[in-house]
Amino acid sequence: MASYNGVLKDYSHSSLNEAFKSQNNVNFKLIKTVSDFSETLSRLYEEHATALQVAVSNYRKKNAELRKERPACHLAIFQAWETFLQEVETDSQACNDVASVLSRQVSRPMLDKSFHRKVQSRKIFTHRESFETIIAKTEEKLSKCRVDYKQCHLAHRQNPSQHSLTEYIDAHNAYVQQLHATNGMLEAYHTDTLPQQMQELEEIHNDLVAIVSDSLMQGAEVIAGKANDQAKRYNSLTNQCAAVSPQQDLVNFVRLLAQPSQAQKIPRRLFASPQAEGGEEAGDHNEMTPCLRNELVFDRHSTLSQRSALESLKREAIELELQIRQLQDSIEALNRTQTRGIEGQLYNKVNELQEDLSMKKFDLRAKQIHLAAIRAQVSFDLVGVKSSKV
């Protein structure tokens, strides 16, 4: 057999035997621990996959109801939402795939591949103990032969005779034979047997490390592969969301609406003479019932002072303009505060501000409408006053 030149070639001393035995046990415990963890992780992935699939199924039902209510046109935001659902469902399948690999290709094979090594390791240490017992018995026998040899030598020196000489020579031969047998056994044990056992121990260690390393690599590769695929899919969804155009969705929606035949105009109310309501002829009027038009009447029969009314309207307009500026400043301040709240994720504060903001916007628009009415009256009154002077 070729000589062993591995890492453990100089570490075969019997005092190190327990250390190697402990190290081997640690390796087998590591395999069991990694195997158990992989199985637990597999179950977690499987449970997560089930939970994802249940969530997707439930929201698919809700989305089906939403489809019935939404406009029958292409809306990019709905397409992005449905893509998100699809990607989560793909995640569910990916989790099932990872769970299967962790259980079938990582957890179980680790125990199966290492079991024979566990048996081999146990036998190596058992055999070493047996070999050392054999060596000890051989050396014990050698010691006994040495004692017999020494006693026969002493007896022959004290009382030399043919019989004592024969016993002395026989004891010598027995001792020499046992000495050579013991040395031969020690030579074989330390030259061949122990190196072979140390080589086996190194092979076991290397194999166990390879089993754990390869198993972890398989688990890492499948998780990394699914993660890379997930990253690509969600990057695509990110681009899809970034391409969503609210304006285009709105354009697609309004195309479905029935456009009125006439273009939308600002409605205006025309002056309606009271005579037309009674069906009277235009020529049936006298001085008691003058025919009036869409203009102010300034004569002695008018009870209102148009100048005082005009001044009152101007004062009201100034007051409204002041209130409008105050509301605009308040709305701008609320908008800034709300923006800071959104950036700081203070959504409860944002929600509270929205109530106040919406009310102030309503007040602002109501006052702007009121101001428009007053300005129209002021403009009309100014024309009437100028006409009366003429």
Report residue 390's pLDDT band, with 50, 70 and 90 as the boundaries: very low
Per-residue pLDDT, 270: 78
Higher pLDDT, 27 or 387: 27
Contacts of residue 324, Cβ cutoff 8 Å, sequence gap at least 6: 364, 367, 368, 371
Region of poorest pLDDT, from 91-95, 177-181, 309-313: 309-313
What is the average pLDDT value for the chain, to the nearest integer? Answer: 87
How far from each other are the two terminal CA atoms of the chain, in whole angstroms? 136
Q: Using alpha carbons only, give the angle 353, 356, 358 rounded to the nearest 5 degrees.
A: 105
Q: Taking Cα atoms as reference points, which of 119, 130, 118, 129 lies closest to residue 18?
A: 129
Report residue 308's pLDDT band, with 50, 70 and 90 as the boundaries: confident
Per-residue pLDDT, 378: 78
**Side chain identity at 4, as an amino acid letter?**
Y
Structure token digits, residue 107: 């957890």
Q: Taking Cα atoms as reference points, which of 125, 135, 141, 115 lies closest to residue 32?
A: 115
Per-residue pLDDT, 5: 79
> In whole angstroms, what is the distance from residue 102 CA to residue 219 CA?
6
> In whole angstroms, what is the distance from residue 164 CA to residue 168 CA?
6
| Domain 14-253 CATH assignment equals 1.20.1270.60 | yes
Higher pLDDT, 319 or 260: 319
pTM over 0.85: no
pLDDT, tens only, 7-46: 888 888 888 889 989 999 999 999 999 999 999 999 999 9
Q: What is the mean pLDDT of residues 106-123?
A: 92
pLDDT, tens only, 71-82: 888 889 999 999
Three-state secondary structure readout of 346-370: CHHHHHHHHHHHHHHHHHHHHHHHH
pLDDT, tens only, 229-261: 999 999 999 999 999 999 998 888 888 887 766
Share in percent of the chain as helix, strand, coil (round to 5): 80, 0, 20
> In whole angstroms, what is the distance from residue 39 CA to residue 109 CA?
11
Q: What is the mean pLDDT of residues 46-64?
A: 96
List Cα–Cα distances, 205 to 30, 34, 66, 220, 360, in angstroms.
Answer: 12, 16, 61, 22, 78
Structure token digits, residue 244: 């969503």
CB of 78 closer than 8 Å to CB of 111: no
DSSP string, 258-272: ---SSPP----PPP-
| Surface-to-core class of residue 18, CB atoms within 10 Å of its CB (0-12 exposed, 13-18 middle, 19+ buried) | exposed
Tokens 């050698």 sit on residue: 142
Per-residue pLDDT, 287: 59
